[in-house]
Chain A
Amino acid sequence: MSTAVIHTPAEGAAEPRTTYLNAGHTLKSWLLTLDHKRIGILYLLGVSFFFLIGGIYATLIRLELLTPQGDLVTAQTYNKLFTQHGIMMTFFFLIPSIPAVFGNFLLPIMIGAKDVAFPRLNLLSWYIYMTGALFASYAMFAGGVDTGWTFYPPYSTNYANTYVIATGLGIFIVGFSSILTGLNFIVTIHTMRAPGMTWYRLPLFVWAQYATSLIQVLGTPVLAITLLLVALERTVGVGIFDPRLGGDPVLFQHLFWFYSHPAVYIMVLPAMGVVSEIIATFSRKPIFGYKFVAFSSLAIAVFGFLVWGHHMFTSSQSVYAGMIFSLISYAVAIPSAIKVFNWTATMYRGSISYDSPMLYAMGFIGLFLIGGLTGLFLAALGLDVHVHDTYFVVAHFHYVMVGGSLLAYLGAMHYWWPKMTGRLYPEGWARFAALVVFVGFNLTFFPQFILGYLGMPRRYYTYVPEFQLLHVLSSVGASILAVGLILPAIYLLWSLKRGPIAPADPWMATGLEWRTSSPPPPENFERTPVVTWNAYEFRSKEETEVIGPMGKPDVSERK
C-alpha cells in the first residue's frame, strides 16, 4: 500500500473495493441481476417473508390450543390456520430455504466458479418462485384453504369449497422454480468445478446439494401432475380419484407422497450439508469418513424415493405393500445414522469451540436424532396404527423440520453471515439466541410426543381437559421459540450497519468461500483458483492462499 499514494490522506488508507453488494445500487441492478449471490439474497428476502407468515399462523394455532374449548377461532378457521401454516412453511420456506438461499450464494464459490451454469435460468427461478407465491398469497388473502397441506381427496376434490385450485396452482408453479434450481446445480457441479476441484475434494455441502437437486428434478414433476389432476377433478370431474367415476382416492396418496416424502429429504439433506461444514470448522478436524458422509447423502436421496407408503399404513393400502414400505423405511436409518456417527466421530478429540453456528449444529444432531428415531416408531406397522394422525406425528416431523432443517438454516445464517454481508454480529447475543431456540423448541414439541401417545389427534381445535397442561407447556415453549427467532432478526439487521467489518475468514475455515474477501467481489475470485488440497484440510494461516482481491483491506462502502 505504500506505493498507492494517489489518494489524499483525508480519504483514509482504505480504498473502497467493489463487492457484489456495491456493484450496483439501483433496484433494477437487483431485480435483473444474474449474479448468483444477489439471487441468493433475493431468495433470502422471499423465504424470510413466508417464514414470518407461516410463523404467524403457528402463533394463532398455539393460542387457540391454550384452552380445551374452541374460543379464539371457529373450527373452519382453525382448519385454514393449520393448512396455511403447513403450506407456507413446507413449500414456500423449507423447500427453497437452504438450497435457494445458501446453495445459490455458496455453491459456485465453493467449487471455484464465477457463477452457476445457467445464470438467466437462475433469475427465472426466483421470478417463478415469486409468481407461485403470488397465487398462494392471493388464495390466502381471499379466504384460504382448509384441506390440510396434503390436499387429500375426496375432501379436496369433491367437498372443500375454499381456494384449493388457486393454492394448488401456486404450489404447481413454485415447483418449477425448485426444478430449475436443482437442474442448475446439477449442471454447475458437473461442469463448472475449478481446476483441481475433483469430486472427492468437494465440500460436503456441495455433495448434499447434489443429492438434493436430484430429488428436486426427479420428484417435483410428480407433485405438479398430482395437483393438476386434483384441479381437473374439481373442475371437469375427471375420474382419477373419485370411486364413483372409477378412480381411487388412495392413488392420490401414492402420487402425493411419491414427491412429498422425498421432499422431506429436500429439506433435511442440505441441512446435513451445512452441519458437516460447521462441525468440521469448529472441531478443527477433517470430517471423519468423508466418502461415507458424501455417499450417504446420495443413498438417502435414493432410498427416500422408496418409502412413501409409510404415510399410508392406515389407508386402504395393501398390508403387503405396507410391509415392503416399512422394511425400506428402516433402511433409511442406515445412511442417516452414518452421518450422525461420523459427525460425532469428527468432534471426538477435536478442538471444539462453541461459537453460535456450532451451537446450532450440535442442536441439530441431538434433535435430528430424536426426530429420526421417532420416525422408526412410525415406520413400524403395528405402532403406527396407534399413533397415526396424532400429535406424535406432528412432534416427529417438527423435530426433523424445525429441530433439523430450521436449526441448520439458522446455523448457516450465522456461519456465512460475515461472508454474505461483510459484517460480524454480536457473538454473545447469538449464543444466547441459540440456547433460547433450543429450549423453546424442545418445550414446544416434546410435550406433543406425549400428547400424541396419549391419543390427541392432530388437526383438532378442541381437546379433553386432561391434555391442557401439555398443551399449555407447548404454547409457552412456542413463545420462547418465537423470542429465539426474533433475536437473530434484530441483531443480524443491526450488524448490517453497526457490526464490525468481517475479515475474509473469521472462523479459520477451509472452504474456497473463505479464500475470497467478505463480501465477495462480483466475479467471486480475482482469478480462477487452482485447488491442490482436500476438503477440510486445516493449515496454518500463512500457508493459506487468499484468492480474493489482494492488497486492499476488506472494506465495503463506508458512509
Chain B
Amino acid sequence: MKSNSLRFIILLFISCNALAVNDDSILSDDPPNRLSEFNFFSDPMNHLPNENVVPYDLITPLFTDYADKHRFVYVPNGMTAEFNGDEVFEFPIGAALIKTFSYQKADGDELLLETRLLLHKADGWDALTYVWNTDQDDAYLALGGKTIDVKNVLTPSNSSYIRYRAPNKNQCKECHLKNDEVEPIGPKPRNINKQLIYLDGIRRNQINHWAAIGILQKSDYTNDLMIDAFDENYDLSLRARSYLDINCGHCHSPEGSASSSGLYLSIDDKNYGVYKKPVAAGRGSGGLSYSIVPGHPEESILLYRMLSNEPDVMMPESGRTLMHAEAISLMREWISEMK
C-alpha cells in the first residue's frame, strides 16, 4: 500500500504526464501482444491510469478466489455512454473495460496476475486477457488462458496454494454471453450507484462523476436495488439476492449460458430456485431435490454447489477454485430464515 502523500506526488506527476490511450489498438482486429501497447496506464503496477481512463467499483463484486480487482472504464474523448434501462450501459465504439486481478503477498507487495479487457469494436465486444510476467513489468496476451500457481498470498481462506486460472477467450464468453453476443456484466447502473474515493482523495457518486466528466449521459438515476451483500445493516434477503445477481445472474438468465437450466437468478427474477427441480445437473444435484428448500439450507442444491470444489459439481463452473466462505454463510442464513 502506498501512503497518501506518495500517492499525491504520483498523482501530480501523472496529471502532468497522462498520455492518450492508443485507440487503434482497441479497434484493431489483431490485438496487441502486450498490454502496455494500449497505453491505458501511466504506471500499470500502481494502477495509475492515463487520460480518460477512470477507476470504478461495484457495489457487490463477483467472487474470484479472493483476488483483488482494479476496474477501469475508458471512453474515447468526446464520446458518451448511454443508459439502457437498468441493463449494461450502451458504450460507444472504442470504449474499453479494464480489470486487473491481483493478490497481496505475504511480504506486503502486490502480485499482479492478469488484466482482462473488454474492447468495444465495431462488430461488438471482444474479450481478451493479458497475463502478467514474472518481472511484473508487462502483461502478455493469453488467448488460450493460463494456469498460474499462486503461493504465499494473503486471503481469508488461509489456502497456501491457489491454482489460479486466467480464462481462455471462450471461457470469457461463457459468462459474458447474452443472446449470443458478448456483453459486459458489471457496469449496470444498479451495480455502480455508490460512492468512490477518487485519486484526488474526494468521494463522489460514480454515476454522477461519470456524467460530470462527460463519459456518461446525465440522468436522475435513483435505483438502489443492489446493495452490498456483506453489509449487515441491510435486509438479509436483499443481500442474498444481490450476491446471486452479480455472481450467478449473468449465466442464469434466459439469455445467458445457463439458459437451459431454467434457473434464473437475477435480482428481479421471481422464482430464484425455490422448489426448482434440477435439470441435467448430474452429480451437481448432490442427491437433493430442489435448488432452494426454504428453511433447509442442507437440502438446497444452490448451497451444495457453492460448498463444492469439484469441477462437475461446483458453481460457478469456472472462475473459482476456493470456496467463498462469507457467501456460504450468507446463503445458509438466508435459506434458514426463508419461509
A and B: partners?
A: no
